[in-house]
Amino acid sequence: MSRLASPIRKNDNVLVISGKDRGKRGRVLKVLPGDERAKLRLIVEGVNMIKRHTKPNPGKNIKGGIVEREASLHASNVQLVCPECGAQTRVGRKILGDGRKVRICRKCEGVVDK
């Protein structure tokens, strides 16, 4: 998978459009690449929280107990939030005059990439 293949990247703001956390917004913390069977998954800040029971490990300085953390969700369940117009949008691509490929907002035609 090429670097530009995914319309959503790390540090993008996204809106969850389906599932138990529908309507929540968050920042993408991690993008988990997939293969043929398991497609692209994302970890979004404050979304899809799970409780993990961990054993204490003094060697790694880990306290035991119930830890709440984010679980991954499928990339098709989120939509990018445009930094210029603030609306949820599909992602387009455009080649600028200097030859750079950038992602653009389909609603306002604004550049999503910094």
Name which of 63, 77, 76, 69 is nearest 19 in CA terms: 77
CB 52 within 8 A of CB 78: no
Q: In sequence order, what are the residues at sequence separation of 6 or more whose Cβ sits closer than 8 angstroms to the Cβ of residue 44?
A: 14, 16, 26, 27, 28, 29, 70, 73, 78
Block mean pLDDT (10 aa), the chain, length 114: 66 94 95 77 94 94 92 93 92 91 91 85
Q: Retrieve residue 75's tokens.
A: 């990339």
CB 63 within 8 A of CB 9: no
| Amino acid 5: pLDDT | 53
CA 53 to chain centre: 25
Strands annotated E in the chain: 13-16, 25-32, 41-44, 49-54, 65-70, 73-74, 78-81, 88-89, 91-95, 101-105
| Amino acid 37: pLDDT | 65
* Entry pTM: 0.80
Q: Which domains, and CATH codes, for the chain?
A: 13-81 (2.30.30.30)
